A and B are shown apart, each in its own frame.
Chain A
Amino acid sequence: MNRFDYIRPGTVAEAVSAAAVPGSAYLAAGTNLLDLMKIGVARPERLVDLNYLPGLDAIEALPDGGVRIGARVRNADLAQDPGFRRRFPAVAEALLSGASGQLRNMATVGGNLLQRTRCPYFQDTASACNRRAPGSGCDARGGENRLHAVLGWSEACIATHPSDFCVPLVALGAVVEIAGPAGPREVPLADFHLLPGATPERESVLAPGELVTALRLPAEAAGFAAHARYVKLRERTSYAFAVVSAAAALRIEDGRIAAARLALGGVAAKPWRAEAAEAALVGAAPDAAAFQQAAEIALAEARPSGDNAFKIELARRIARRALRLAAAGTPERLPALPASPFAPLSGGLHG
């Protein structure tokens, strides 16, 4: 690990001005950043530690019915917060399906949003990687890429964003609150992460020094609580990143879908909201035909980026599954294996 300066700011303003110096990185729990530093992928010259900043660790109910989650709130604390869990069950389910208990106890909201791709070539400094070293090439093309992107990728980069948490968040219209040298601003999560295009090294809209201070979920997101699920396909039952995943949320009125949200994980460099599929669901009966059609629409643009054509079909299936489970109703209690196909179901797979 390289030598670096360590700064412990006492206020958001101090943090922002410290991090505006080139070569700085914010340190939250470090479950991603420190790992990358140990393997030489990240080599910041100064770490600006967020762990002592006051005011970023609250889960606040907003007067309009929404919720604001401070950037320092731990993944486990958010998932276990009874009020949050009741109103945004798919978000809690996604959080609890990520990483391991030990990691969730550490990892923060801000860090989860900004975690880096798990592309093995990104993590290996001996490989060519446009995201890590712009212009060097992309060794994932023609290499090991069975878990890479099927949507929104470019010739320059085919990596995916690995977060579970972000998938229901983007479905539910979360907004990111940002503080920065130029003052505060906010950006919808759907616009927060950038697709690679020709500049995969630009992963989010954050400008140097900008700090995520909070996430907000609007009041209407809670309106889906009765029909909201996250489903994650993994290569082992727990402690694995998603091969593909989906968050689905429905509002069902008089046997018809009044509003629908659908987002996919593990398919693109950002959490992938499928708005066209959502639109197609509105007004339909919540049945297999409607879900099948929505899944087709959601993946209409998908193309393999390597040995991963199977992910396109899997993504359709996981979208269908999430919609079907959401239609069946949010379970009273989160299952013991959150988001797993092996979690006990109400009504069965074909119900």
Chain B
Amino acid sequence: MAEPQRIRHGSSLGQPITRRDGVLKVTGQARYAADNHPPGLLHAVLATSRIARGRVASLDVAAARAHPGVVAVMTPENRPPLAMDPDDKSVPFSFKLDLLQNDRVRYPGQPIAVVIAETLEAATEGAALLAPRYEAEPASVSLDDAEPFVPPMIGVGDPAEAHHGDVDAGLAAAAQRIDATYETPTQFHNAMEPHGVVASWDGDRLSLDMPTQGLAMTQMRLAALFGIPAEGIHIRSPFIGGGFGSKLLSGPQALGILAARLVGRPVKLVLTRAQMYGPVSHRAPTRQRLRLGTAEDGALTALDHHVRAATSRFDDFIEPSASISHTLYAAPAIATRTEAVRLDAGTPGFMRAPGEASGSIALESAIDEMAAACGMDPLAFRLRNYAEVEPVSGKPFSSKALRECYAEGAARFGWDGRPLAPRQMRDEQGLLVGWGMGTATFPAMMFHGEARAVIRRDGTGLVETGAHDMGQGAWTALAQIAADSLGLNLAQLEFRSGSSDLPNAGLAGGSTHTATAGGAVHAAGTQAIARLTEVAVADPRSPLFGAGNVGVVARDGRLVRWDDESRSESFADILGRAGLPEIEARGSAAGDAAAMEHYAMHAHGAVFAEVKVDPELGQIRATRLVGAFAAGRIINPRLVRSQYYGGMIWGVSFALHEGAVLDPRTGRVMNADLAEYHVPVNADVPSVEAILVEEEDPHVNALGIKGVGEIGITGTAGAVANAVWHATGVRVRRFPIAIEQLIGGKEA
């Protein structure tokens, strides 16, 4: 409803255009990786480890091979050679891979063999017939099972400790203090589309249909692994059924590629849902202790955030949960410290808002507890501690419309009049009602991206970049940017993407993709127009002759003089007269180092949640969510809103539903399917609203884009948890909140 005023004449930017591939998807015509069936295709199925640590003592390869339809069994004995050790991490963001390099088992669900057969069914049964025997060693399963250590870095290069001010002094001087410990569970990736690949070799050339969030980087990683030139690897990834950080680089898919090499035929490998709970990375479990102190007036005197996070025994990814405490609330003293423990689990990795999501639910809970201890409204408390500059770095923000988010969100939700004390509200049928809030934030980052733009003889345009549409609508938003940069409408533009033979668009991760690929597309288009302009203004026969390079603007397929709208010429006429078949330009975009040095760059938001809780039975339902977010320039409000909705729903999941259940003895995931690994269903999310708060950011990048993919989950999880407290008076610090934590011995 609020959409129309955003539509500006002649511009695609800011318009709520529906996904360009929407019809293909809802009619089943979009071809995902696993939909490809090249002639001669064989099916590969993984056999995965049932123990967490030890070695595979035997596999009944003969039984598997004897099963009708089975073509080959790949084990460490016969796996084709690789040009490098899969434990060698040659490219950024890569992890050690389990590619049958030996008989060691280092986590449950690790691939230990691959069966290749004429049919999926035969390969599946062949894998079952392998009946592995193991020599198991005792496994470390929980955060208390191993000695913690301070890692050299956390996340992708942040220090494990950061300080500003004197936290001990701040706490000592505080009038009020809280000291609370929160626990977040292991969460597994459950994108709709499981990881898969269809691989064919032709000599040393490799052709792949494979969902990836990082075409160029995957190409590099595979080239190094297989010892072949990157240009010889063609990856097609036109549609991705959800990535969320799990499809940045080829993980287990490399086994499908190896299988194709082994049998000399095209091979398809698709993980089963249960196999997603092993080799594709996950969100690490954390335990977070927060100590906060405030002066009489509710101003924070100190914030201390201590994280213990799990990583694997053999590789490092340390969930950077405390980083969020560096930016969100003003305090004269802030300290964060992270320690890690090594568990016999797969290596954790990136999962939507890695670090921010788990850190946010702890920090926002602690802020809520602190506000309650001060007898203050949680919104008033947050405003009291509003950070005008980024607290730990001391840098000014490139832009920060968080106050507006608080105000607009609170107004829309109806926050005013919320009773301070918990257990004060009931609905008409006696259910407890609670309201909670949280602040959302996510850094605005960028990678390096490239694009190519062409203005064709017939006046139409072509823009290409190897970008990734994971369902978020990148194709649509990038095409909007491309069309504007060329002064064309969308119908006059051909936009190509999702393939490794196109210019490198960077990774689709870290909420950077629109800024990075969009920045590159914008640069390429603008450059192409500049070249076209040079041709026109230098031509005495053009009505634009003598206008000068900056004297024209591209609109509706024409160059128009700024100072005289009546003088214009179509692209086709300019090229035709100049006898040029087309004009081509390349463009690139990357973060501005100088700006990053000067400014802290973050998107912000405020999320308000209502939950209802059955007072006797303890069942919880999030009944209403309102989020207001400021994330710089909004290219397509419809797509952005759906990113916020998805993030917010994940926040509900984080607080109330989602978590792996590990067997305490073996570390195996006991709920590795979508019946038992709960994510919210429609009935769990009756009402979600996302408000787009205006924000102009002149520093963050040329287009002023901050990224919206991950922020929605932050703030929301804490808001829901805080609402549960407000409904029941019970503060649950272990997530997801379980019924038994609420009912205790008495009524909730």
Contact = CB atoms under 8 A, between A and B. Distances in A.
Interface in B597-626: 612, 614-619, 621
Interface residues of B, number: 42
B706 to A, nearest CB: 33
Interface in B393-437: 428-431
B124 A310 contact: no
B201 to A, nearest CB: 29
For the complex of A and B, 9 pairs with smallest distance between CB atoms: A349-B430, A126-B50, A310-B740, A237-B683, A238-B683, A120-B670, A341-B614, A348-B430, A348-B429
Contacts of A314: 617-618, 739-740, 743
B664 A1 contact: no
Contacts of A39: 274
Contact of B665 (A118, A143, A350): A143
Given A2-B125, A349-B615, A120 B745 contact: no
Contact of A237 (B68, B128, B670, B681): B681
B224 interface: no
A236 B125 CA distance: 34
Contacts of A237: 621, 681, 683-684
Given A121-B670, A310-B739, A236 B128 contact: no
B682 interface: yes
A142 interface: yes
Given A121-B670, A144-B663, A243-B739, 18 more contacts: A38-B124, A39-B274, A118-B675, A118-B676, A120-B676, A146-B740, A236-B656, A237-B683, A238-B682, A240-B678, A313-B745, A314-B617, A317-B743, A340-B619, A341-B614, A342-B431, A349-B431, A349-B615
A345 B125 contact: no
B670 A235 contact: no
B159 interface: no
B670 A143 contact: yes
Interface centre among B125, B274, B668, B684 (most CB of A within 10 A): B668
Contacts of A188: none
B429 A344 contact: yes
Contact of A348 (B274, B428, B614): B428
B713 to A, nearest CB: 18
A107 interface: no
B680 interface: yes
B617 A321 contact: yes
A249 interface: no
B617 A120 contact: no
Interface string B661-694: 1111100101100011010111110000000000
Contacts of B676: 118, 120
A40 interface: yes
Contacts of B738: 235
Contacts of A120: 661, 670-671, 676
Nearest to B612: A342
A143 B663 contact: yes
Given A313-B743, A345-B429, A349-B615, A235 B657 contact: yes
Contact of A342 (B621, B664, B671, B678): B621
A325 to B, nearest CB: 11
A1 B428 contact: no
B145 interface: no
Nearest to A139: B663
B166 interface: no
B137 interface: no
Interface in A83-129: 118, 120-121, 124, 126
A233 B619 contact: yes
A239 interface: yes
Interface string A276-312: 0000000000000000000000000000000000100
B88 interface: no
13 contacts: A1-B124, A120-B670, A126-B668, A144-B661, A144-B664, A233-B617, A233-B619, A238-B681, A238-B684, A310-B743, A340-B619, A348-B428, A348-B430
Contacts of B85: none
A341 B662 CA distance: 29
A349 B429 contact: yes
A349 B616 contact: yes
A235 B739 contact: yes
B121 interface: yes
Nearest to A311: B740
B665 A142 contact: yes
Interface residues of A, number: 43
A233 B657 contact: no
Nearest to A120: B670
Given A126-B50, A235-B678, A345-B429, A317 B617 contact: yes
Given A318-B617, A321-B616, A236 B678 contact: yes
Interface string B443-478: 000000000000000000000000000000000000
Where chain A touches its partner, the secondary structure class is loop
Interface centre among B121, B621, B670 (most CB of A within 10 A): B670
A333 interface: no
B55 to A, nearest CB: 16
A237 B679 CA distance: 11
A234 B619 contact: yes
Nearest to A350: B430
Contacts of A340: 619, 683
A82 to B, nearest CB: 24
Nearest to A337: B683
Contact of B739 (A1, A121, A233, A321): A233
Contacts of B616: 317, 320-321, 349
Contacts of B617: 233, 314, 317-318, 321, 341
Given A143-B665, A144-B664, A233-B617, A3 B125 contact: yes
A238 B657 CA distance: 12
Nearest to A308: B740
B619 A341 contact: yes
Contacts of A344: 429
Nearest to A310: B740
Contacts of B619: 233-235, 340-342
Interface string B623-659: 0000000000000000000000000000000001100
Interface in A225-281: 233-241, 243
Contacts of B656: 236
Contacts of A124: 668, 670
Contacts of A318: 617
Interface string B490-522: 000000000000000000000000000000000
Interface centre among B615, B617, B738 (most CB of A within 10 A): B617
Interface centre among B68, B125, B675 (most CB of A within 10 A): B675
Contacts of B612: 342
B684 A236 contact: yes
A340 B619 CA distance: 9
Nearest to B741: A310
A15 to B, nearest CB: 25
A321 B745 CA distance: 17
Interface string A16-42: 000000000000000000000011100
Interface string B534-561: 0000000000000000000000000000
Interface in B692-748: 738-740, 743, 745
A342 B684 CA distance: 11
Contacts of B428: 348
A313 B618 CA distance: 11
Nearest to A243: B739
Contacts of A349: 429-431, 614-616
Given A236-B681, A239-B681, A348-B430, A1 B663 contact: no
Nearest to B428: A348
Contacts of B682: 238
Nearest to A2: B125
A51 B743 CA distance: 45
Contacts of B615: 349
Contacts of A233: 617-619, 739
A236 B431 CA distance: 16
